[in-house]
Amino acid sequence: MRKFEPGERRVANIHTEPYTPFYGDGQPATGEDVLQVNPHNQTGVGFHVYRMAPGTTTTPHVHTGDEEFLVLEGEVVDNDGYVYRAGDLVWLKQGTQHSSHAKDGALLAVYIPTAEKALT
């Protein structure tokens, strides 16, 4: 078995690594940050950690692929009133539409196969 070469591994700690702004429709989304280790994916696509500042509401969007996430910290309330709590592992089917709110902030581990599309 060969050793890892430079550029073949990246380790980032979700508590100490700097996050980058999440971009929706080409603009930085207020209160939304992302930490992802795979440099080959578009920001917010693939596996990443998504941080919502207190009071953040996401832009209404449609899922262009199935979304899966694990709530690591906090609570997230969906537009239909459903509350996702720390420890909840969630699947949202491709084609579903929603917007979420984090009154006190939240931290999620997310997998999204393709960029979401904002609803207009």
Domains of the chain by range and CATH?
Answer: 30-118 (2.60.120.10)
Structure tokens at 112: 């999204």
Residues 6+ apart with CB under 8 A from 94: 63, 64, 65, 66
Mind giving me the DSSP string for 4-27? PPTTS-----TTTSPPEEEEETTE
At residue 24, the pLDDT reads 65
Low-confidence ranges of the chain (pLDDT < 50): none
Say if pTM beats, i.e. exceeds, 0.95: no
